[in-house]
Copies of this chain bind each other. A is one copy, B any other.
Amino acid sequence: MTRHDTPLDDKHPENSQLRDAAPRILIVGTGAVGGFYGAALARAGAQVTTVHRSDFDRVKQHGIHIDSLEGMMHFRPHRVVNQVEAADTPDFLMVAMKALPGLPVAEIIRPAVGPRTVIVMLQNGLGIEEPIQQAFPEHEIIAALAFVCLQRTQPGHIQHLCHGTITLGRHPEGISPAVRHLESLFKAGGVPCRVTDSPARARWTKLVWNAAFNPVSALAGGITTHAILAWPEGEKLIRTLMGEVIAVAKAHGHPLPDTLIDAHLEATRSVAPYHTTMAQDYLAGRPMEIDVILGAALKAAHTVGLTMPLLESIWILLKLQERKNED
């Protein structure tokens, strides 16, 4: 599906407004993920504004360089700001910050959320849409799931190592005109994009990968996906963790296909060795997304009366590391 045949309902006021001009997109927390997808949306003709903290000066002056599978790319955002307050109200506000506990996402984005702003949750984990929906009960929330390997190599520089597919769905379910519009933009920008009427199921599918590869790659000392799979015992550990997540997903009404583990492993093997986000954070001594990936899975297991013995133990090891680093 290319951009011109997107089945948008032009008579819908929101969509006609979106069609009138280049859609305005605000990316909050523009790290590797936000920069990579922001560049694609800009290629599709959107007016992309990016919010940065540490990289602000660098990106304002030089833009973002992406060393992509498709070659070197340069992305100069429409505007570069260092706080949400400085941005105009967008049509789509994309939340791309690392999902760390205690981060008041709703309050951070509130200054830029206009009455018709659609909020796109591009973060990792489970249950990230709910608090935003509570804070903005009248707003449309889109869940966006990126299946991509990215690494921020230095301020304003992103390395794109594999994949790139993004999956979109309206929270809590359904495919809205806004979802279709965003889909058309991603596709026009060259990003493989799928829509789903069950983003929760897509989140579980992604969590199966994340909850296995992320903690193992970190606890094993910051190793790549391929280093884990190079040893049959490493693969076995990954399979066990994935199995625990799949069981909980099923109990939550999301039976995932039996082939999912093999498919995840095959997809991981078919691309370059990758340091997961958690491995990158571990090696850099940065906080890791422990709670949103593992803590949320454990909470979900608890609510349906299941246990995840291995995942829980691995969560404890990572939390013990975190407690040490907080000392």
Q: Most chain-B Cβ atoms within 10 A of its Cβ — which of A237, A309, A313? A: A313
Partner of A317, one of B230, B237, B320, B325: B237
Residues in B with CB closer than 8 Å to A323 are 227, 230-231
CB distance from A228 to the nearest CB of B (A): 6
Please state if A228 and B320 are interface contacts (CB–CB under 8 Å).
yes
Please state if A220 and B310 are interface contacts (CB–CB under 8 Å).
no
Docked pose: A275 CA to B317 CA in angstroms: 16
Docked pose: A222 CA to B236 CA in angstroms: 25
Asked if A20 is at the interface (CB within 8 A of a chain B CB), the reply is: no
A316-B233 contact, Cβ under 8 Å, with A221-B324, A324-B220, A325-B221: yes
Residues in B with CB closer than 8 Å to A321 are 220-221, 223
Q: Most chain-B Cβ atoms within 10 A of its Cβ — which of A220, A234, A236, A316? A: A316
Contact residues of A: prevailing secondary structure: helix
CB distance from A205 to the nearest CB of B (A): 23
B interface footprint on A199-241 (CB within 8 Å = 1, 0 otherwise):
0000000000000000010011111000110110110110010
Please state if A240 and B313 are interface contacts (CB–CB under 8 Å).
yes
Query: Which parts of A11-37 form the interface with B (CB within 8 Å)?
Result: none
Residues in B with CB closer than 8 Å to A240 are 309, 313
Docked pose: A234 CA to B221 CA in angstroms: 20
CB distance from A39 to the nearest CB of B (A): 33
CB distance from A242 to the nearest CB of B (A): 13
CB distance from A211 to the nearest CB of B (A): 14
Please state if A316 and B227 are interface contacts (CB–CB under 8 Å).
no
Asked if A319 is at the interface (CB within 8 A of a chain B CB), the reply is: yes
Docked pose: A236 CA to B314 CA in angstroms: 12
CB distance from A135 to the nearest CB of B (A): 30
A313-B237 contact, Cβ under 8 Å, with A227-B320, A323-B227: yes
Residues in B with CB closer than 8 Å to A316 are 233-234, 236-237
**Ordered nearest first, which 8 A-B pairs have the shortest CB separation?**
A220-B320, A221-B321, A237-B316, A233-B316, A219-B317, A221-B324, A223-B324, A220-B321
Pairs across A and B, CB under 8 Å, 6 listed: A219-B317, A220-B321, A221-B325, A234-B316, A234-B320, A317-B317
**6 other A-B residue contacts (CB within 8 Å) besides A220-B317, A223-B321, A233-B319:** A220-B320, A223-B324, A231-B319, A231-B320, A233-B316, A236-B316
